[in-house]
Structure 1
Amino acid sequence: MTTIRDVAQRAGVSQSTVSHVINNTRYVRPEVARRVRQAMAELHYTPNRLARSLRRKVSHTIGLITPDNANPFFAQVAQAVEEVCFQQEYTVLLGNAAGDPDRELRYIQVMLEKQVDGLIVAASGLRSEHLQPARLGHTPVVLVDRELPDLEADRVLADHRQGGRLATEYLLGLGHRRIACIAGPPDLSTGSERLAGYRDALAAAQIPPDDTLVIQGAFNLDSGYQAMRQLLALDNPPTAVFAANDQMAIGALRALWEAEIPVPEGCSVVGYDDIPLAAYTRPPLTTVHQPVTELGRLAAQILLARLTDPEQPARRHLLPVTLVERASCAPLSRSVSSLPGERL
């Protein structure tokens, strides 16, 4: 097997010079560096990157843990993270927690055992202390999309409360007053913040809260479908629905279709996330757009920067959201009075 000593002899230089050329750790005159690379090519020498990583305590791998790889939102986040890391010659190890905090914790443990240089985590029920091993081992952590209280770490988030407010204000502007919310899990910051924004908008419009119009979902298709069925079973169903993510909104559209309630004439629907499928539902879904690619890209850039300068203070980056108007919403119409319930 060709060794670094063989390369040094062929190039007529010391082994340390070959090492500096490979690792770019010291200036080497261009003509000398050229001789070293030529010798490496002639001898078909490939540096042992694993051994180098162990010596330098750098693995050039990043751990990324998401709560649901099947969710298009997190698929986009992962793609953006991988693209940035690949450009910087880092490999991404992906863990799908499937919404299970125990599974999520196991992925963290495994990735730390594999000596990843850093972690990007979209938490699905973790407590702050679950990331304590990373902090004690000085492995940097960046939280993306979701908060964890009391954890000193960089955060890259969208303004979820403002998004919930935007969606509800839009429906209020169309004349709707009986507006339901299919909320996300209350133990996740994304769920609680979007629900808080919904309530902020109703309070500002002086509309009393109605707990029967708030149904807890699980950020998946079926929970949106089941929640919409519950809302339609009310004596006085809503004329409009804000679903706290697009998957639940799509589930709600299915329930409305089965009940033969036309959208938007019989019920307006707003989602959240603006996943690619939102533009292709029937009708196309009005939704709150999150800068998904920017969330993933910024999380990766911040983590890589922290690897270079670990002493910089942790920061919270809050990205704005916008409303994307499509065809799933319409002004409140008298035609809704012909649908089940009074719906005024």
Structure 2
Amino acid sequence: MVVRLRDVAALLGVSDATVSLALSGNPRISKATRDRVIAAAEELGYRPNRAARALRTDATHTLGLIVSDIANPFFGELASEIERHAEEAGYSVTLCNSNEDPARQDNYLLNLLAGSQADGVLLVPTSSTTAGLRAAGAAGARMVVLDRPIAVPGSGLAADHLRSLPTVRSDSSEALRHAAELLVELGHRRVGIVAPPQGTPLGRERRREIKDALVAAGVTGRDVVVEEGDFRQDSGFAAMTSLLGKSNPPTAVIAADGPMGVGALKAARAAHLRLPDDLSFICFDDTPWFELFDPPLTTIAQPIRELASAAVDAILGLIAGGPVPDQSRCRPRSTFVQRASCGPRPTSSTRSSHARATSYKTDPPGKKNS
């Protein structure tokens, strides 16, 4: 038996138009009504008639791109590359910045989908799953998930659709192996991680991958020390401050993204530690100015061009009605870029003497900061 839109409307005692608007994410429909419609659609097993929908709406040749933080240089460069690839295919891009706010993300997502403002959406999600994502899933929206995977609990129409979406993200396992082996070769046996939020799939996965690489290289699990951040610079500062304040602080630190890495470096500087004499440091993402730092930073460089190309190809394939793209192409490899921010493990006496000397030079005893 084919379940039609009118069957969902009849079950709820609402109009066909209300169901249609709710499933398309139209902001005129309240969240409570939208949730009721999604639940009823899942219960009945309703699936939108894509062929009919295509006849009712004209292609816009526009892609929606929602990034989680445009101030993060990684996403700025990724957006630029996506725009270039989309333009080559005859598409324009509408860029939205959710600013790590799930509600803002959902508002952008549903507005892009309502009234077919975009033929498809590329999304860097702020969290594992949201009400807006569920609504988009129930409507069968054409989306590609970028950089951060989503976690979809349960079953039903929305969950099944969301789980089927292409996810384009880098594979950093080989680059992390090289990073861990370098640190061990340099004598480091206690390593800190400034990790992404553990409430996200990316945070849990990246923490596990970094720790596994370190343990495989010879660091004991108890000597991998983790402090959690939130993708923001301030959280990187706080995480590094906590790592350095431990009774047995790490002699090397890996920061799991660029903004947190910059915050961590500020904390190291505030503690009067010098790279790489007092602390070795590796950061995810390779922004153009990291090689201009003193010393230039060792990084895990994500393949931005390959990510952009794979993401655009994936969404255009969905728009054309093609199959889900090959997942191997959706996982291009990151690269380990060795520069000068990693050195031999310092002794505790060497580190403390450097800190005392730098502290006196920066802020002499008895002189207050103005």
Tell me the TM-score range normalised by the shorter chain: 0.7 to 0.9
Residues 31-70 of structure 1: pairs in structure 2 closer than 5 A: 57-70=58-71
Does residue 1:99 correspond to 2:115, yes or no? no
Spell out, residue by residue over 1:163-218, the C-alpha distance to the aligned partner (whole angstroms, 9 max, x if none).
44443332122210011111111133332222112221233245433388210012
Among residues 191, 196, 217, which one is paired with 2:203 in the alignment? 191
1:278-293 residue pairs with structure 2 within 5 A?
Answer: 278-293=290-305
TM-score by length of 2: 0.72
Q: Does 1:320 align with 2:333?
A: yes
- Partner amino acid for 1:184? P
CA apart distance, 1:254: 1.7
Retained in 2: the 8 A contact 1:161–1:193?
no
Once the two structures are TM-superposed, the CA of residue 54 in structure 1 deviates from its matched residue by: 9.2
Q: Note the alpha carbon deviations across 1:216-250, whole angstroms, 9 max, x for none.
A: 01222221122111122112211110111122222
Q: How many residues align?
A: 287
Shift of 1:305: 2.5
Q: Work out the CA distance in 2 between the residues paired with 1:128 and 1:227.
A: 27
Partner amino acid, structure 1, of 2:124: A
Q: Which moved more, 1:184-193 or 1:71-80?
A: 184-193
Corresponding position of 2:246: 234
2:149 equivalent among 147, 150, 153:
147
Offset of 1:325 from its aligned partner? 0.7
> What is the letter of the counterpart of residue 323 of structure 1?
F
Cα deviation, residue 285, structure 1: 0.6
Q: Does structure 2 retain, via aligned residues, the 8 Å contact 1:177–1:207? A: yes
The CA deviation at 1:139 is 2.9
Q: Which has the larger radius of gyration?
A: 1
User: Please, which moves more after superposition, 168-177 or 103-112?
Assistant: 168-177
Query: For each residue in 1:244-284, what CA deviation from the matched residue of structure 2 results, as whole angstroms up to 9, or x when unmatched?
Result: 11222222222222222111010000001112121122211
Match of 2:345 in 1: 332
TM-score, structure 1 as length reference = 0.77
Task: Choose 89-98 or 69-78, whichever is displaced more.
Answer: 89-98
Q: How high is the sequence identity, in percent, across the aligned residues? A: 35
Match of 1:74 in 2: 75
Cα deviation 1:99-149 (Å, max 9, x = unaligned): 111111111111111411001011111417643433444431111111113
When the two chains are superposed, the root-mean-square deviation of aligned CA atoms in Å is: 2.4
Q: Determine the structure 1 residue equivalent to 2:86.
A: 85
C-alpha distance 108-124 of structure 1, shift in aligned 2 (>3 A): same
The AA in structure 1 aligned to 2:141 is T
State the AA in 2 paired with 1:331: P
| Structure 2 letter corresponding to 1:140 | R
Cα distance in structure 1, aligned partners of 2:192 and 2:79: 32
2: CA distance, partners of 1:196 / 1:324: 21
Q: Work out the CA distance in 1 between the residues paired with 2:324 and 2:268.
A: 49
Q: Distance in 1 between matches of 2:101 and 2:144?
A: 20
CA contact (8 A) 2:314 2:324 kept: no
- 8 Å Cα contact 1:163/1:194 also seen in 2: no
